[in-house]
Chain A
Amino acid sequence: MSRQPSEVIRLDLPARHSYLHLLSETIAELLRQVGADNETLIYNVQLAAHEVCTNIVSHAYRNRRDGEGRIHITLTLYPQPPRIEIELHDTGETFDPELVPQPNLSEAQIHGYGLFLIRHLMDKVSYTSLPDGNRWHLVKHLS
């Protein structure tokens, strides 16, 4: 796999729900630039990245005052094979995704879909607990 990016965008967002539409718009614009204009593909990448951010706002930064934390996001397009990689870093509380129960899909749940969506909408998802926070790495192939 090529590690030579064709396009890189970095965002440094205040950890507030009200700014997350900027991430969605950036993802859509970035993917359209390379002709990846499939509506469902764009939506799925947008939603997975959005769910990571809502998790950061609601859980990693739950003990911070509103907007005090930040989310550092790097969106990278690679040509071979065509893919988008999204790295998200925060300095909030760490958590263990393995301890988050899977939703019971046989009946409608009120909570628990966020992590499920992240894992199922992307081709690769990894989470790393760091001394200074959390790092997520998402990969979606574009072909």
Chain B
Amino acid sequence: MEIKPRTVGNVAVLAIEGRFDANTAPPVQHWLEQATATPGARVLVDLTETTFVDSTALATLVSAMKRCQQGKGEFALCGLRRPVLMIFELTRLDKAFNIFVDSEHALAVLNA
């Protein structure tokens, strides 16, 4: 797994490549804790190249989203592959997260 952080306008973006699971979640969690610490933070997690998401990854993302919302910030996901999106649908987390089809659409909204 590889994580690729970048900043686009006012948005902190983290792209996750490969498996996002109990084994690889700690560095993602660490980055998200820092990115969501600032009130009003705008954070995007790009899952375009994420091949596997487990319940630990879901917990990591839910924690970050809740932390971001507490700080009146915005938290979004993009690029979910079909099997990954189906897990979000099964757990109804697709209703809780702001999910975009790709980073271009997400950044256009988050930077507006």
Chain A residues engaging chain B, CB cutoff 8 angstroms: 17-18, 20-21, 24, 39-40, 43-44, 46-47, 50-51, 54, 57-58, 103, 105-111, 113-114, 116-117, 120-121
Interface string of B68-95 (1 = CB under 8 A from A): 0000000000000011101100111100
CB distance from B74 to the nearest CB of A (A): 15
Interface string of B11-25 (1 = CB under 8 A from A): 000000001011100
Do A111 and B21 have beta carbons less than 8 Å apart? no
- Given known A39-B83, A40-B86, contact A51–B23 (CB-CB < 8 A): no
Do A113 and B83 have beta carbons less than 8 Å apart? no
For chain A, what secondary structure do more than half of its interface residues adopt (helix, strand, loop), or is it mixed?
helix
Which of B23, B52, B56, B65 sits near A108, CB closer than 8 Å? B65
Given contacts A21-B19, A110-B59, A110-B62, 14 further A-B contacts (CB under 8 A): A40-B86, A43-B83, A44-B83, A51-B55, A54-B22, A54-B55, A58-B22, A103-B91, A107-B96, A108-B65, A108-B96, A108-B97, A114-B54, A117-B91
